[in-house]
Amino acid sequence: MLIGYARTSTLEQKASLETQRESLNAVGCEKVWEEQTSSVAFRESLRAAMDYAREGDTLVVAKLDRLARSVRHLGEIVEELEGKSVGLRILDLGLDTSNATGKLMLNVLGAVAQFERELMLERQREGIAKAKALGKYKGRRPTAREKANDILALLAKGIGKREIAKRLCISERSVYRVLNAKPEVN
């Protein structure tokens, strides 16, 4: 059975998700898991697809970068799939790990992809540093601090920190950050 997995990092990438879905359906994936989440976050749908896969199945992704965030992570995924005798196909690379050549190519391409990502992050850091030096980089808007009064009001009502985070669509860590900075909040 061919099992598909599609992912985008942000909700704005609807076209990319649709393109991946079409590619997976075109090759005959019988079941497709999709999600819109960062590669560094826990990926529920990837976990579900891997748990669903049985011996002889193949996990199919449209692009390598939709599957793994690093060579190490890719290795962990491949190792888990191999342990279950599940193959991996990456459509845009024409890669299939069911043979030795496919496994070799996957490792080489994974290393190149990680190198490319590290170069991109390096350029991004350089660009941010330059923008800061020119006074043009302000950083991210402090959304949690803007909700400080709401956080304090909910806390005063006896609502727990986790529930506050959930209700205000912020992280629990942000709630604690606001509480630790409480004397500065008006």
Q: Letter for the amino acid at 17?
A: L
Packing angle of the helix pair 148-156, 172-180 (nearest 10 deg): 90
Helix (H, G, I), strand (E, B) or coil at 14: helix
Can you tell me the distance from the alpha carbon of 37 to that of 49, in angstroms, rounded to the nearest whole number?
15
DSSP letter for each residue of 91-133: GGGTEETTSHHHHHHHHHHHHHHHHHHHHHHHHHHHHHHHHHH
Which residues are designated catalytic? 9
Give the length of the chain. Answer: 186
The sign one gets for the Cα dihedral 59, 65, 66, 71 is positive
Look up residue 55 and give its amino acid: E
Pairwise CA distance, residues 32 & 174, whole Å: 34
Do the strands 31-36 and 58-61 form a parallel or antiparallel pair, or are they unpaired?
Answer: unpaired
